[in-house]
Structure 1
Amino acid sequence: MNNSPPDVHPKHGPESEKLDLKTKLAYGAGDLGPAITSGIGVFFLLVFFTNVAGIPAGLAGSILLIGKIWDAVNDPLVGVLTDKTQSRRWGRRLPWLLYGAIPFGIFFFLQWIVPRFSADPSAQMWGLFWYYVAIALISQVFYTVVNLPYTAMTPELTQDYDERTTLNGFRFAFSIGGSILSLILAQVIFSHIADRQQQYVVLAAICGVIAVLSLYWCIWGTRDRVMAFEAKRQLIEEPPSLPIGEQLKIVFSNKPFLYVIGIYLFSWLAVQVTASVIPYFVVNWMGLKESDVPTVILGFQGTALLMLFIWSALSRRFGKKVVYFMGMSLWIIAEIGVFTLQPGQITLMYALAVMAGFGVSTAYLIPWSMMPDVIELDELNTGQRREGIFYGFMVLLQKFGLAFGLFLVGMSLEASGFREAVPGQSTLPVQPESALLAIRFATSILPAFFLICGLVLAYFYPLTREVHAEILLKLKERGEGRVSRGGFR
């Protein structure tokens, strides 16, 4: 067999190779399931706990804290295991999606029911607390099982700098589209079903089915490309795997990786804190109906979806950092405007929601587009590809931050005198001025602070397009040298 060096890096494939539309759509569909379920959770789970299950805001925040911390802890474990998974038929990542999809949908549904444990209100409250904690722990395991291997597939599908941004554009089009679909479903269901508990049961059942089906679309649509990458990867004899302690040392000595973690953490703290509190802001401060909440959220999520491909095109022209600065600046202005909103200023509220959507789309697109570049820098330094451990620890640290942020929101609402609903009552309690101020602060000033922190880190992020091109060139030269010595096997 011919042992001469190929024209391209055998492991990376042709840098100019583009993904076909079928593969991009299938890959994007893989984020629809996690997005539609996490979107419902982010927007409504805290409200569900306080206004449907009747759990005090502090305890509700504690449930979210426990679930997120456990979710973060199991991320690196799953990441390392996916790196070590071997399957001739499915590769390293896809088996996790294949076997985890159905349990993922089932346990998502179970967190939206209100079981009856006792006639005593206190015993019932604590029974619900421990039930939701148990379901959170199990459901977060299956969320990680399907989502983390999925996110680690990006560098395996393409090694082109700009193509990755495009691929992530498709991913987050489905992601934001999933959030929008869940909001449309919520609006329809909330408008036609009066009982609050039944509203969420129906919504969770529909979203769970969609989530499972979309994951199987991803599996079958990306399998050929994933397996082609696996075949190329096996042509090169990689150095022996390092002990986990040594791997962690290398991961956290990768300076660009630490910047990406920080950028992603602060961006998503802003997204998720705003999303969790906005239902309270719309109903308790602006005086609108609960059925109006999905419409307001659609304002910024719909804009974020439309802007994804525009930001992707601008990123190819101006670079990722410039696009991130443009989007975040608009979002910060919108957040400041939200704090000044007064009841009755409905048109202005929607205008600010649209402006915030410009920034939300860059929070989706840019940090995830940076991650594959970081992984290739690590490959250049170590000779190994460890997508799983990098993505695992990125998500771990991000979720620790989010857990702490959401816990603080719940505790601050309770400390401000927020009044939870009594299960079964038809009207929500009137909130005191102190609780209204806390809601306004958490919807605007706190997210703006997080966004500014993200901008500072983005300013110092070192991997430009030129630096990344140099990394790929060195990897290509190294790969050609190895193949010329060892030939194809």
Structure 2
Amino acid sequence: MATKLTLTERLSYGLGDMGTSLAYNMASGFLLFYYTNVVGLPAAAVGTVFLIARLLDAVIDVVVGIAVDKTRSRWGRTRGYFLFVALPYALVTVALFHMPDWSEGAQLAYAFITFKALGILMSLQAIPYTALMPMMTLDTGERLKLSGMRGVGTSISVVMGTAAVMPLVGLFGGSDQKQGFQSVAMLFAAIGFVCTIALYRNCRERFEDTSPANFAILPAVREMLQNRAWLVVFASCLLYFIRFGLMMSATAYFAIDVLGKPWMISIMLPAVSGMLLLSSVVAPPILARTGIRRGCVFVLGLSAVLFALLPLAESSVPLFLTVYIAACLATSITITAAFAMIAETVDYHEWKFGSRREGLLSAGISLSTKVGMAIGTAGFAFVLGAAGYAPDAVTDTARDAIRWAYYGSAVLLLGLQTVVMLAWPMDALRETIRNDIAGRSPAPAE
């Protein structure tokens, strides 16, 4: 049964991504820069902090996902998380960019604690958010519309969390970058809080897992690992976010130290995923016509080719940015598709195992994004450390390391993601699965 969603629901769902992503994008794009260039911490040590903190999310995300599947409350299964996590998430966002004047060891400990807290609270907000979509509607067209709105929320948060950060740091802090980052973090925390409350107030859960809340955990995890659709989305998102994490961390260094054009940060960083704003409009009709598998394979291959051509375009800024933005648009189509694909892993799971497990499946995908970001961010920090990067005396060796980490990782990871997408099963099975589920599912809650 198709469920038509209201415009308010779709808009509020899109705002929900801003509630989580705004602080996360600022941290992804500038936290390494803030720690190394503003606070003065060593890059390799910061990379280790990022990597350990994110790898610990492997346990946390699974625990949160299982908790969502076991939750039965007056607010539903997901909405209570938005209500009670919104304020703590905002407060930790502020703390993240408020480094005390302590010793280096104490500052690294503070960085780990606050970054880890951000990750935990993000799990408590992002996993229920992702789990909410398949609870709102079973219709693929409506899910693609929700994915488009989520893409809008993501792209706005990327533009604000990347392109707007340094101008706002200058506006609020002047020559005092430390004060500027603190002020921007406070502003983004307030905006994120309002967006999350809008999600809580306006989005409804219509379809619920009718299986018992007290299920055995290990068999549920084993079933998740046997879900082919989930495995494809997990691997695809892992590869996407390794590349995303590296590029978000590396772009400021690439623009300043390789291209010698700091102003390009405000164009290149938003384009990494800011093209989702355009993708949210063009992707749903394209993917509805081509199918998710065929459409994603084409744009991933195209993007890999475009990134491979970028080194040849460095001498011409207009040509470089044209090729770069086109490549980013192509990859953005795949992340719009991924939002709908995550919901379809729930349908596949119910069809194969008789339970929906929205929380656990969403937790697994959230884990792939966090581990991917950790590997990408820490990997680039290790590249800087190995190349002997020093902000005040950048060597040719360091520049070459930044350049080829930037280009080479993109081509390799996009190629691998293309291969993974060839295994996506739902385009061929969707109608069979939907018909089987419809024949045994109860009517949606009113």
Question: TM-score when scaled to structure 2?
Answer: 0.94
Q: Which residue of 1 aligns with 2:293?
A: 321
Q: Residue 28 in 1 paired to residue 14 in 2?
A: yes
Q: Which residue of 1 aligns with 2:281?
A: 309
Given that 1:83 and 1:386 are in contact with CA atoms closer than 8 Å, whether structure 2 keeps it comes out as yes
Q: Residue 255 in 1 paired to residue 237 in 2?
A: no
The DSSP-based 3-state class of the residue aligned with 1:153 is: helix
Which amino acid in 2 is paired with 1:247?
A: A
For structure 1, which runs of at least 5 residues remain unmatched after alignment? Answer: 1-13, 118-123, 421-428
Q: Which residue of 1 aligns with 2:415?
A: 452
Q: How has the CA–CA distance of structure 1 residues 66 and 181 changed in structure 2, closer, same or farther, with 3 Å as cutoff?
A: same
Given that 1:271 and 1:360 are in contact with CA atoms closer than 8 Å, whether structure 2 keeps it comes out as no
Q: Which residue of 2 aligns with 1:97?
A: 82
- Tell me, in whole angstroms, the C-alpha distance in 1 between the residues paired with 2:36 and 2:154: 27
Q: How has the CA–CA distance of structure 1 residues 244 and 475 changed in structure 2, closer, same or farther, with 3 Å as cutoff?
A: same
Q: How has the CA–CA distance of structure 1 residues 85 and 241 changed in structure 2, closer, same or farther, with 3 Å as cutoff?
A: closer
- Tell me, in whole angstroms, the C-alpha distance in 1 between the residues paired with 2:207 and 2:106: 49
Alignment of 1:470-489 (within 5 A): 470-479=432-441
- Tell me, in whole angstroms, the C-alpha distance in 2 between the residues paired with 1:286 and 1:341: 11
Q: Which residue of 1 aligns with 2:403?
A: 440
Q: Which residue of 2 aligns with 1:8?
A: none
Q: Residue 62 in 1 paired to residue 48 in 2?
A: yes
Given that 1:29 and 1:218 are in contact with CA atoms closer than 8 Å, whether structure 2 keeps it comes out as yes
Q: Which residue of 1 aligns with 2:201?
A: 220
Deviates more, 1:143-152 or 1:299-308: 299-308
Counterpart selection for 2:186 from 181, 205, 228: 205
Counterpart selection for 1:166 from 141, 145, 152: 145
Given that 1:264 and 1:363 are in contact with CA atoms closer than 8 Å, whether structure 2 keeps it comes out as no
Q: How has the CA–CA distance of structure 1 residues 159 and 141 changed in structure 2, closer, same or farther, with 3 Å as cutoff?
A: same
Which amino acid in 2 is paired with 1:59?
A: A
Alignment of 1:362-377 (within 5 A): 362-377=333-348
- Tell me, in whole angstroms, the C-alpha distance in 2 between the residues paired with 1:80 and 1:302: 32
- Tell me, in whole angstroms, the C-alpha distance in 1 between the residues paired with 2:12 and 2:43: 39
Q: CA deviation at 1:276?
A: 1.0
| Cα deviation 1:418-446 (Å, max 9, x = unaligned) | 114xxxxxxxx131111111111121111
Q: Which residue of 1 aligns with 2:73?
A: 87
Which amino acid in 2 is paired with 1:411?
A: F
- Tell me, in whole angstroms, the C-alpha distance in 2 between the residues paired with 1:158 and 1:81: 22
Counterpart selection for 1:357 from 328, 351, 358: 328
Q: Which residue of 1 aligns with 2:353?
A: 382
Q: How has the CA–CA distance of structure 1 residues 365 and 219 changed in structure 2, closer, same or farther, with 3 Å as cutoff?
A: same
- Tell me, in whole angstroms, the C-alpha distance in 2 between the residues paired with 1:151 and 1:376: 14
Q: How has the CA–CA distance of structure 1 residues 92 and 304 changed in structure 2, closer, same or farther, with 3 Å as cutoff?
A: closer
The DSSP-based 3-state class of the residue aligned with 1:198 is: helix
Which amino acid in 2 is paired with 1:56?
A: P
Which amino acid in 2 is paired with 1:339?
A: P
Which amino acid in 2 is paired with 1:209?
A: A
Q: CA deviation at 1:240?
A: 7.0
Alignment of 1:126-137 (within 5 A): 126-137=105-116
Which amino acid in 2 is paired with 1:450?
A: L
Q: Residue 408 in 1 paired to residue 394 in 2?
A: no
Q: CA deviation at 1:299?
A: 4.1
Q: How has the CA–CA distance of structure 1 residues 110 and 80 changed in structure 2, closer, same or farther, with 3 Å as cutoff?
A: same
Given that 1:330 and 1:355 are in contact with CA atoms closer than 8 Å, whether structure 2 keeps it comes out as no
- Tell me, in whole angstroms, the C-alpha distance in 2 between the residues paired with 1:50 and 1:334: 31
Which amino acid in 2 is paired with 1:270?
A: R
Equivalenced residue count is: 442
- Tell me, in whole angstroms, the C-alpha distance in 2 between the residues paired with 1:138 and 1:339: 39
Q: How has the CA–CA distance of structure 1 residues 461 and 134 changed in structure 2, closer, same or farther, with 3 Å as cutoff?
A: same
Given that 2:279 and 2:336 are in contact with CA atoms closer than 8 Å, whether structure 1 keeps it comes out as no
Given that 1:339 and 1:445 are in contact with CA atoms closer than 8 Å, whether structure 2 keeps it comes out as no
Question: RMSD between aligned alpha carbons?
Answer: 2.0
Counterpart selection for 1:148 from 101, 105, 127: 127
Q: Which residue of 2 aligns with 1:110?
A: 95
Which amino acid in 2 is paired with 1:384?
A: S
Q: Residue 71 in 1 paired to residue 37 in 2?
A: no
Question: TM-score when scaled to structure 1?
Answer: 0.86
Q: Percent identity at matched positions?
A: 23
Given that 2:99 and 2:107 are in contact with CA atoms closer than 8 Å, whether structure 1 keeps it comes out as yes
Q: Residue 296 in 1 paired to residue 268 in 2?
A: yes
| Cα deviation 1:368-416 (Å, max 9, x = unaligned) | 2112222112112222221001111222244234323322221121011
Structure 1 segments, 4+ long, off by >6 Å, are none
Deviates more, 1:78-87 or 1:318-327: 318-327
- Tell me, in whole angstroms, the C-alpha distance in 2 between the residues paired with 1:190 and 1:395: 30
Q: CA deviation at 1:292?
A: 4.3
- Tell me, in whole angstroms, the C-alpha distance in 2 between the residues paired with 1:36 and 1:452: 29
Given that 1:299 and 1:350 are in contact with CA atoms closer than 8 Å, whether structure 2 keeps it comes out as no
Deviates more, 1:432-441 or 1:304-313: 304-313
Which amino acid in 1 is paired with 2:413?
A: F
